[in-house]
Amino acid sequence: MSPSSSEPAAFVVDDLRVCWLGRRPYVETMAAQQAFTDDRDASTADEIWWLEHDPVFTQGQAGRAEHLLTPGSIAVVQSDRGGQVTYHGPGQLVGYLLIDVRRRQLGVRALVSAIENAIIATLAGWGIEAAARADAPGVYVGAAKIASLGLRVRRGCSYHGLALNVDMDLEPFARINPCGMAGLAVTQLADLGAETDMMVVREALTAALLRELGYGVPGRR
């Protein structure tokens, strides 16, 4: 996929290409991830795609209809990621990790933990104490969820990834049980007095992900 703005599109670290795609429809981007995963081979470099989505509710493979309360005019899309229902919209930073997990010798749990740890470390840089939960993937500030995770692994390769609430309209989360959890509070960087410049946030989170996943580390592949 090509970027939707004149902003620099990508940079490369080791066998990883990091791309900024701008604002994209969800269905188009999911199809692009599936195609990338189907077409890649053992020599294909891994990629991270950063973007924002048009407003959409997405149902994971385990999604149950009762967790969609009042979606209204916002489209509901069936996704092939894991998990339950969530919301994506402008002002939320979405990162898709297209990684050959067999090549990097990463299990799914290790990949989830690396993503969570990268988000926690990024938030700590702005003085926000966050944590993961063993019973519900994602990152939480107190009882409120600030980032969600959902992955799919096919042919030994991951896609889908994370969504970090930066500075967005949180109202649509009230129309669902976020991640299948009734009454779950949701928060964002803007409400915590933290950094909200999307470029700054994604650069900080990219650096944390590279550290957690070992890109740029001599001898690590």
**Which residues have a catalytic role annotated?**
179
Radius of gyration of the chain (CA): 16
**The pairing of beta strand 144-154 with beta strand 157-165:** antiparallel
Q: Is the dihedral of CA 118, 28, 166, 178 positive or negative?
A: negative
Q: In what order do the strands lie in the sheet with 86-88?
A: 76-78, 56-59, 86-88
Residue 105, both tokens = 């010798």
Answer for the pair 96, 159: CB distance below 8 angstroms, yes or no.
yes
The amino acid present at 119, given as its one-letter code, is I
| 56 to 5, 11, 70, 74, 148: CA distances (angstroms) | 21, 29, 13, 6, 15
